[in-house]
Amino acid sequence: MLIFFTCRAILVANSTLVNSYLNCLHYHVAGIFGRRHLDVILHGPFGRSCNASELHQQAIASARLVSFDYTCKTCSLPNCIFREGNNLNAPMVRSKNLVYLVLVATGVLLSLNTINGQEPTSDPRKDRMLAMSKVYEPREFVSSSKVALKYRMLKPLNYQFGKKYPLVLFLHGAGERGDDNQVTLVHAAPDFADEQRRKQYPCYVVVPQCPEGKKWSDVDWSKDSSELPKEASQSMQAVKELLDEMVDSAGVDANRIYITGLSMGGYGTWDAIARYPDFFAAAAPVCGGGDPAKVKSFAKLPIWCFHGANDSVVKAVRSQEMVNALKAIGSSVQYTEYPGVEHDSWTATYSNPAFYEWMFAQVKPSR
């Protein structure tokens, strides 16, 4: 109610200016809503706390466009903000859900703060991405099937030519799909890039980006169970080819290749170890799911699985069924279920020193 009356008061006091702003903001929001499923936005997408963060960034970016002769980079319409009389013919916001109303209120307040000479508050998510983009090198790999895979790579600290290093593959969640090769650096990447951790565990960290609309594993996330698809997804095939190339030419210790991923990346982790059980030295799927019927192939692989007990996006039963199936055939799999935690089980996982101590201690037996 407070937000509603705040918006109403601002609208009354600055009707022409705010109408222009809201019309533009509505345009941007509608575009994002069209690209993301509404149920994902409301309930939290894979790999993100909430897609509202992306919308919030759009509002901040729009609030900074105060020049009357500026062409908006998002909608490509000239003078789309703060221009009296400019009308996009878009309907005013009819907020039937709280997410939309909160966003509009935030955007309006940010725009007024900018007009008054106050700089909008920085976005921690964007700050993390920018900081990590200076540490993780941007690269691109083209697979044998001509699939372009953008990825980021963190090199071992104090790299020595001729020495072989462990490699960690991190698979992001659905919210980080795209082609910007930057949003993937929000989760886990900052933890692996911690200076003290890099000194203790020098290694490669590879963070590929799955294209929009694609998956690491082509399964239906909405189902309570899933079977391993017959073929690896195009994105997964490209990732495997990239790793094979790095093993051949980049000084990677083939006995110490680790895989971890969250949400959609958790599904991808289970998928990858089922397809390539002899390739990895250890796996750490976070809030994902797999095919319990396929666990025999990787029963001897060291696995530590993580999930939030109250996860409503990917229910904890998806991890539980994998762990139970593995234990039933004698696997030493470890399972951590965080009481009261919802979908974000990755923050506690990747900030836990014990996780890194366990992972880097695993070495695949030489054949």
pLDDT score for 24: 40
Cα separation values, 248 from 234, 240, 244, 329, 362, Å? 21, 12, 6, 34, 21
- Of 67, 93, 121, the residue that ends a domain is 121
Query: Are 316 and 248 contained in the same domain?
Result: yes
Structure tokens at 50: 């909430």
- Tell me the CA end-to-end span of the chain in Å, nearest whole number: 66
Are residues 89 and 21 located together in one domain of the fold? Answer: yes
Burial class (CB in 10 A: 0-12, 13-18, 19+), 324: middle
Q: Is residue 92 part of a domain?
A: yes
276 and 207 in one domain? yes
User: Are both 83 and 134 inside the same structural domain?
Assistant: no
Q: Does some domain include residue 136?
A: yes
Same domain, 116 and 131: no
Say yes or no: 196 and 339 in one domain. Answer: yes
Q: Residue 61: how many CB atoms within 10 A of its CB?
A: 17
Residue 330 pLDDT > 50, yes or no? yes
| pLDDT over 80 at 76, yes or no | no
Q: What is the pLDDT of residue 248?
A: 94
Name the residue range of residue 248's domain.
126-361
Average of pLDDT values for 236-264?
97
Mark whether 207 and 346 lie in a shared domain.
yes
3-state secondary structure of 260: strand
Flag the least confident range among 70-74, 110-114, 205-209, 224-228.
70-74
Q: Do the domain assignments include residue 16?
A: yes
Residues of the chain with pLDDT > 90, as a percent, come to 62
Please give the average per-residue pLDDT across 138-142, as a whole number: 97
- The total number of structural domains in the chain stands at 2
Please report whether residue 366 resides in a domain.
no
Q: What is the mean pLDDT of residues 316-345?
A: 98
Q: Which amino acid is at 216?
A: W
Of 121, 143, 177, the last residue of a domain is 121
Residue 314 within a domain: yes
Task: Please say whether the beta carbons of 334 and 326 come within 8 A.
Answer: no
Q: Which residue has the tokens 């530590």?
A: 304
- pLDDT tens, residue by residue, 160-199: 999 999 999 999 999 999 999 999 999 999 999 999 999 9
- Tell which of 59, 92, 121 closes a domain: 121
Q: How would DSSP label each residue in 187-201?
A: SSHHHHT-HHHHHHS
Give residue 42's pLDDT: 33
Q: Are residues 184 and 220 in the same domain?
A: yes
Q: Domain check: are 219 and 312 in the same one?
A: yes
Query: Is 367 domain-assigned?
Result: no
52 or 129: whose pLDDT is higher? Answer: 129
Residue with tokens 């859900």: 97
Mark whether 14 and 76 lie in a shared domain. yes
CATH of the domain at 221: 3.40.50.1820
* Residue 37 sits in the same domain as residue 169: no
Same-domain check for residues 170 and 275: yes
